[in-house]
Amino acid sequence: MNGIERTLYTLKNDYDLKNLYSEYYSIKQAIDIAISALEKQLNGGWISVKEKLPESEDNSVLAQFNNGSIETVHIQDYFDDITAGLDENGNQLYTKWYISQGVVAWQPLPEPYKELN
């Protein structure tokens, strides 16, 4: 078990804060944020599409496909609803393009390079 895995285990299993009542929720929220940050580091920043999709906006993310390739994709094109024909009653059907394209995970683009003074 590496350091990140050990820290995650400790945060998830060794802290019983239920007896702190009034402070519980703010401490629990802080621990949840820490767990989330550590899990992102453990996965190299990749977020499974089964866990969460990016917020819809006119922006791009890195997407990893089921064949292992990684590409920059536009969020609204890949993750928002798109039309998928009509059902037997003539009602519009919708799907998301990432499903048919085999996207398995995504992550935000890194911050642009900034010259250090």
| Same-domain check for residues 21 and 55 | no
| Same-domain check for residues 53 and 99 | yes
**75 in Cβ contact with 60 (< 8 Å):** yes
Number of domains the chain is built from: 2
Which domain range does residue 27 map to?
A: 3-42
CA distances to 11, 19, 28 from 24, in Å: 14, 8, 6
Residue 76's pLDDT is what?
Answer: 94
Residue 21's pLDDT is what?
Answer: 52
| Same-domain check for residues 55 and 92 | yes
* Residue 72 confidence class, pLDDT cut points 50, 70, 90: very high
Instruction: Write out pLDDT tens, residues 27-59.
Output: 777 777 787 777 777 778 899 999 899 999 999
| Same-domain check for residues 54 and 27 | no
pLDDT for residue 7 is more than 90: no
Domain membership flag for residue 81:
yes
Separation CA 84–CA 92 (nearest Å): 7
Put simply, whether the predicted model's pTM sits higher than 0.85 gets the answer no
Residue spans of alpha helices (H) in the chain: 3-13, 24-42, 75-79, 97-101
